[in-house]
Amino acid sequence: MSYLNLKVRLPYTYLPDAKIILATVLFYLSAELAHSLAFNKTSVLPAWPPSGVAFALILLLGRNAWPGIALGSLIANLLGFWTNLQLPQHTLIGISSFIALGQTAETLLGYFLIKVWIKNDYPFKKAKDSFRFLFVALFISVVGAVTGVITLFANGILSNELLIESTLRWWVGNVVGILLFTPFILSLAQKRQYTLTTNKGIEAGIFALFIIGFYLLAQLGYFNGTLLFSLPYLIIPFLLWLAFRFDLLAAITIVLTASLIFIYFTIQGIGPFVLPQANDSMLLLQIFIGVISISTIVLSATVAERTAAQEQLKVFNQNLEAIVQNRTKELNEEILTRKRAEQKILNTNQELSKRNTELDNFVYSVSHDLRAPIASVLGLINLAKKDDDLAMKNVYLDKINKSAVQQDNFIREILDQSRNSRLEVKKETIDFEPLIYETFDQLAFATATGSPVEKIIKVSQTGIFYNDRWRLKVILNNIISNAIRYRNGRDPVIKVNVNVTDRKAILEIEDNGRGIPKEHLEKVCQMFYRATDDGAGSGLGLYIVKEVTEKLQGNIKIESEEGKWTKVLLEIPEFEEQAVTE
């Protein structure tokens, strides 16, 4: 995977050539840097930056960039050996070619190991991968070192005594070059967002003050020697701080800068790494650079891994919190659904219990209220057959008619109750005034005998009201028929007041009849309950009124004073769709 998006700038056709040219130029420039840092009186360099540059380029540009590495190595070696070795041209070309071959093989081997073992082109996100990168650097550097030393030995440039020492020093130089330049280039090529916070700005200022302080102390002669020898140790806390507080780029940049400064001063014979022998000074310097490099890389990787783990944990906690909230919501909905189901079951059980009680009462009432009128009719017919008096026959016929009417009323009430239970509420336009007059007209036969009833009807309705007309008719019919049936003997009056407000109708039906004894008020709406023993009613009328009112989502209240008056208060809401489903 390439981190350098060259396709943005160059056509796809020229992209491979651009990679090769870029690799060639960067390899050559890094070789020039390496030669500028060479120790006096030694042929081995303290660090070989081209190894690190080539390794980084092969990871960034892909393995197709290897010709650029080979070409850059060939050019750098030709120019380096051309002026330093007095050999034939073909020998110089052969030596340079073999060393370039070893450098290219070293780079390709590293590319293969990174792909197979680490499986990440940026192996500095985890401490484990950073250690693997170190092992890869140690291993592949052997290829370049052995190839170079064998080439020089075969051409008589190295003696037997220097063979092992030169291999070791070449290998260490390659390792140091990889540890310094590969992490720097790879981290530099990483995409990142720079966010300079106040805390980091303050820390950067403190760091700058420390650097200035060290410089000023170095100007004092008394502290000069002490600071020069302790400087490698003083820089370690700063590297730790950079690794903890900033990313790898900041830390490895300071490591690279400090290493180049140490190499420069050591070459000049200044600093704690200066020993009597130049090779010993170089080896001590290489060991120090390698240690601080790999320590910084591993520490930065550990911090990056911890930061990534914290971010993952943060995301996990957020996701977990969302999951918990969703699950809590689901549980609440499940609990609510279960409560609704339990309430529905409870209502169903109550309804079943109620229906069972009603069924028992119904069976008893049918055996009495249906058979009694029939038995009375049969007895009256037998009496009429035996009695030849025409006047008595008319009496018998009146009584038979009364029994038949009583039975017809009872059957009608049963049918009303059954229909109310089975049928859904029907939405219709209600006009209360004609509905009330229609009810009185249908009950006119009940006033044919006895004192005439005075009707006082007041309806306040300005808008359209929706409800079930048949059910309202059943309510009015039962209440008004009771008021007529139980009227007093003198000046009976029935008052009907209707007030239709916003989405609600208030009905008041009041009479000045016999009234209901106080001890019966709470029971008059029960099935087959009779407040009187005169046999005029079946005990279903007010029960049906209560059932129909509840079906319409309304309320009923009965007030009465025995011997004076009775008032029925009804509150009926306007039709709503949920009334059909409930």
Would you tell me how many other CB atoms lie within 10 Å of the CB of residue 461? 15
Averaged pLDDT for residues 182-198 = 79
Are 493 and 564 in contact by the 8 Å Cβ rule? The answer is no
pLDDT at 448 over 70: no
Run of H or E residues at 572: strand 565-573
pLDDT at 580 over 50: no
Higher pLDDT, 91 or 417: 91
pLDDT at 494 over 70: yes
- pLDDT at position 2 is 42
pLDDT at 4 over 60: no
Averaged pLDDT for residues 308-314 = 85
- pLDDT at position 578 is 46
User: What pLDDT digit, counting tens, does each position of 144-160 carry?
Assistant: 999 988 988 888 888 88
pLDDT band per the 50, 70, 90 thresholds, residue 182: very high
Work out the mean pLDDT of the chain and round it to a whole number: 80
Higher pLDDT, 469 or 209: 469
- pLDDT at position 491 is 82
C-alpha to C-alpha distance for 65 and 59, rounded to whole angstroms? 9
**Angstrom distances, CA of residue 230 to CA of 219, 233, 242, 512, 577:** 15, 5, 19, 118, 90
pLDDT band per the 50, 70, 90 thresholds, residue 171: very high
- pLDDT at position 499 is 93
Range in 4-8, 290-294, 397-401, 576-580 the model is least confident about: 4-8
User: What pLDDT digit, counting tens, does each position of 59-81 carry?
Assistant: 998 888 899 999 998 998 888 77
- pLDDT at position 450 is 61
C-alpha to C-alpha distance for 68 and 18, rounded to whole angstroms? 9
For helices 390-422 and 469-485, the axis angle rounded to 10 degrees is 140
pLDDT band per the 50, 70, 90 thresholds, residue 185: very high
Q: SS3 helix, strand, coil % of the chain, rounded to 5? A: 70, 10, 20
CA–chain centroid gap for 512, Å, is 69
Can you read off the two tokens belonging to residue 475?
Answer: 């309510």
- pLDDT at position 92 is 82
> DSSP code of 7?
G
pLDDT at 275 over 90: no
User: What pLDDT digit, counting tens, does each position of 537-549 carry?
Assistant: 566 778 888 888 8
Higher pLDDT, 213 or 274: 274
C-alpha to C-alpha distance for 68 and 58, rounded to whole angstroms? 10
CATH superfamily of 423-581: Histidine kinase-like ATPase, C-terminal domain (3.30.565.10)
Higher pLDDT, 141 or 37: 141
Averaged pLDDT for residues 479-502 = 85
pLDDT at 248 over 90: no
pLDDT at 407 over 80: no
**Angstrom distances, CA of residue 334 to CA of 44, 327, 345, 422:** 78, 10, 16, 31
Judged by DSSP in three states, 397 sits in: helix
- pLDDT at position 155 is 84
User: What pLDDT digit, counting tens, does each position of 109-140 carry?
Assistant: 999 999 999 888 888 888 899 999 999 999 99
pLDDT at 5 over 50: no
Averaged pLDDT for residues 224-246 = 73
Sign of CA dihedral 8, 11, 15, 19: negative
- pLDDT at position 6 is 42
Averaged pLDDT for residues 432-448 = 77
pLDDT cut 70: percent of the chain above it: 77
- pLDDT at position 3 is 44
- pLDDT at position 25 is 92
Range in 173-177, 179-183, 321-325, 448-452 the model is least confident about: 448-452
